[in-house]
Structure 1
Amino acid sequence: MIIKKVFVLFEIFYLVESNTIFLPNLPLGEYRTVFERVYPCISTNRFQTNLYFSKRTSNITEIKGNFTMLKPLDDSYTFDVNFASWSLTGGWKPNAMVYTAKNACSNMKIFYGSAWNSLKEKFNFSSYNCPISPGTYISSGVDLKEIEHHNFPKVYFYGRYKLTMKIKDVKNNVHGCCLVVKSYPEMTVEEYGCRGEYRTVFERVYPCKSTNRFQTNLYFSKRTSNITEMKGNFTLLKPFDDGYTFDTNAASWSLTGGWKPNAMVYIAKNSCSSMKMFFGSAWNSLKENFNFSSYNCPISPGTYISSGVDLKEIEHHNFPKVYFYGKYKLTTKGEYRTIDINAESWSLTGGWKPNSM
């Protein structure tokens, strides 16, 4: 299949620190995990957890011991997780967070995310997939940092928690139970690095070489001291549909000058639908202000003109709300069967770095 480039769009913008980043007085944010204890709780012992924490070095703590299964761990059970939070006046308060899911084995895999791989490898489970056969699975040590690669929210309330995990049957009998006591202290400035919540400062937007099947004739215009708008038009010579691929690449500006590519890369098929998802609520603003033929895909050929879209509306996208501060060059491309969006960032030492996103 011949690949034809359709359009390329550059956006230059800054991600700069906002007034809301790193709020030590608020009890919510990114955290690091401090594990304190792990121990079994009352059950029929069909699924046993005989685990403990061991300090290997000043920086590395491991989980050791074994899992013993007297029956296959499969999806006939329910996985029940309950977070109790430590009260400032003392004592545990249950139900700080509750997660209950049928198909226990499969949902445990989802809950643990990448950490499941580490557990499988270090404890030598009979299979990565479900069910897990009866047996005793022993490990001489798993770095707890590997266990943090789970699918639990990365932003949560700071504090001390007791996590109770149970495996139940349809009659609510508990066949496996494990307690973990851990703390979520706030991350330090050093751990945050130079990233956080940001506001966006747009500098330029301009087209680059393409076949012009999809044309972006846009510019930024200052309406007031506080409002900058994007004006111009999108011209589509063909329907913009899901027959393309959406490819985004952000280049970051290096401290030594020049753009460094691949600061972030996002590639997705079904370009029109994927762009809608990428832009989030900003897609509504673009549709309304440019009078697209439809909110949904495909968008018909035509010239769609706007007298001005407030750039603050464009910020209501689904790009991560926490990211590294800096200057970036975002490149968007379109190709037949492939739409390629490439974001380049401005290096601190000068020059564009492609593929920063």
Structure 2
Amino acid sequence: MEVGERKYFPNLPFGEYRLKFLGAFICNESINYPISYNYHLSRISKTKTVLTGKLIQRIPFDDSLNLHISAAVLDNIGGWKSNAFIHRRPNACLSLKNIMGEAWIPFLQSFNESISGCPVKPGNYTLNGFDLSLLEKSNFPKQYFYGTYKLKIQATDKKDDPDSCLFIVSEVVRPWEYNV
């Protein structure tokens, strides 16, 4: 097996999936991050969940920052097992745009055109209901391991100090389990 090659184990619960979003919250409320989020989820219908809230930026979100995404998976006894997935990239704004794929423009439009793209200038922004089902058009892997994940999304400076941090909790479920 070569470095970077993915190896899938057929006995593990793995395959095409749908995402059920369970929560969104700041990593540590006692830290005054230069980019802070006050996001929450709103369930519009049985199958539609939107992300709403406030974004306060005292610094620009641009490519001088690094993007760090890591996931912890909920284990059988109710604890979080860290490092189930790790993604670290320079150029935070461009990297986030690439990960979001076709969902990037609708995400920006959820801010009522007050954010037009990279870089995102300092300011106070209101997120008015980004439909999270649009993330199915993102560049996420099309198959993944089923389970409950706590995604930690951080932007860090060149010294690796966090400038923002957001947790998103979601379930990766089989497509036919989505409406259950």
TM-score, normalising length from structure 1? 0.41
Partner of 1:233: 54
User: How far apart, in 2, do the equivalents of 1:224 and 1:344 lie?
Assistant: 19
Q: How does 1:1-12 map to 2 (within 5 A)?
A: none
1:166-193 per-position Cα deviation (integer Å, ceiling 9, x unaligned): xxxxxxxxxxxxxxxxxxxxx9xx8252
1:28-73 per-position Cα deviation (integer Å, ceiling 9, x unaligned): xxxxxxxxxxxxxxxxxxxxxxxxxxxxxxxxxxxxxxxxxxxxxx
User: How far apart, in 2, do the equivalents of 1:342 and 1:220 lie?
Assistant: 13
User: How far apart, in 1, do the equivalents of 2:168 and 2:50 lie?
Assistant: 22
User: How far apart, in 1, do the equivalents of 2:18 and 2:61 lie?
Assistant: 30
The counterpart of 1:253, out of the listed 71, 74, 88, is 74
User: How far apart, in 1, do the equivalents of 2:65 and 2:43 lie?
Assistant: 34
User: How far apart, in 2, do the equivalents of 1:343 and 1:226 lie?
Assistant: 21
The counterpart of 2:2, out of the listed 94, 108, 114, is 114
Residues 1:292 and 1:317: Cα distance change in structure 2 (over 3 Å):
farther
Q: Secondary structure at the match of 2:137?
A: coil
Q: Secondary structure at the match of 2:61?
A: coil
Q: How does 1:136-175 map to 2 (within 5 A)?
A: none
Q: Sequence identity, in percent?
A: 32
Q: Cα RMSD (Å) of the superposition?
A: 2.9
Establish whether residue 328 from structure 1 lines up as the match of residue 149 from structure 2.
Answer: yes
Query: How far is the alpha carbon of 1:247 from its aligned partner?
Result: 0.6
Mapped contact 1:233–1:305 kept (Cα < 8 A) = yes
Higher relative contact order (CA 8 A, sep 6+): 2
Query: Which segments of 5 or more consecutive residues in structure 1 lack a partner in the other structure?
Result: 1-112, 116-148, 155-186, 347-357
The counterpart of 1:294, out of the listed 116, 136, 149, is 116
Query: How far is the alpha carbon of 1:292 from its aligned partner?
Result: 4.3
1:248-271 per-position Cα deviation (integer Å, ceiling 9, x unaligned): 110001113310001010001111
Query: Which segments of 5 or more consecutive residues in structure 2 lack a partner in the other structure?
Result: 171-180
Larger Rg belongs to: 1
Query: How far is the alpha carbon of 1:233 from its aligned partner?
Result: 2.0
Query: How far is the alpha carbon of 1:303 from its aligned partner?
Result: 1.7
How many pairs are equivalent? 163
Runs of 4+ in 1 over 6 A off after TM superposition: 340-346
Residues 1:263 and 1:344: Cα distance change in structure 2 (over 3 Å):
farther
Partner of 1:205: 24
Q: Secondary structure at the match of 2:16?
A: strand
User: How far apart, in 2, do the equivalents of 1:191 and 1:264 lie?
Assistant: 18
Partner of 2:126: 305
Partner of 2:90: 269
Q: Secondary structure at the match of 1:191?
A: coil
Query: How far is the alpha carbon of 1:343 from its aligned partner?
Result: 6.9
Partner of 2:178: none
| Residue identity opposite 2:122 in structure 1 | P
TM-score, normalising length from structure 2? 0.78
Residues 1:240 and 1:323: Cα distance change in structure 2 (over 3 Å):
same
User: How far apart, in 2, do the equivalents of 1:329 and 1:311 lie?
Assistant: 16
Residues 1:344 and 1:258: Cα distance change in structure 2 (over 3 Å):
farther
